[in-house]
Structures are given as structure tokens and as C-alpha cells.
Amino acid sequence: MHGPGFISIWFFIGVLLSAYGVLITVTGFYELGSPPANPPVLFNLHATIWWGMVLLAIGLVYFIRFLPRKK
């Protein structure tokens, strides 16, 4: 399955995880600036910001590791 012209599926998974991480982190910062009227119980932990950053970091690792390069 590996050969010239093939791109690893992990590269695309890295792109997808990075995109989700950016979207979730931006949503977390938006919620930080304008909190909901009825916040969830653990809202003060800002899980969306943390989870978004984790997804972004994992996505960037996969993106960089499996980046298609010419040899």
C-alpha cells in the first residue's frame, strides 16, 4: 500500500484532528468571553479549551509525522 503517489491515512487523520481542535478551542474561548446563562456544573474547568488543545496537539503530531515528503 505504500509507494510513490500514496499518502498515508494518518496524515488526513492529523488534518481532521487539528481542524476539530481549532474549532473546539475557539468555541471554548468564546464561551469564556460570554458564559451561558445556565452553565454546566464543571464549567469553571473550561474543558472545551483543554480538550481542544489536546486534539490540536495530537493532530499536529500526526500531521507533521506523516507529512508527504519527496525523497
**Rounded-to-integer distance, Cα 13 and Cα 67, Å:** 11
Q: Phi-psi category of 5—alpha, beta or left, where left has phi over 0 and alpha has psi -120 to 50?
A: left
- Residue 5 pLDDT: 74
- Residue 3 pLDDT: 65
Burial class (CB in 10 A: 0-12, 13-18, 19+), 7: exposed
What pLDDT digit, counting tens, does each position of 10-68 carry? 999 999 999 999 999 999 999 999 998 999 999 999 999 999 999 999 999 999 999 98
- Residue 69 pLDDT: 82
pLDDT at residue 1 greater than cutoff 60: no
Torsion of CA 14, 18, 19, 22, to 10 degrees: 180
The pTM for the full model equals: 0.85
**Rounded-to-integer distance, Cα 27 and Cα 55, Å:** 13
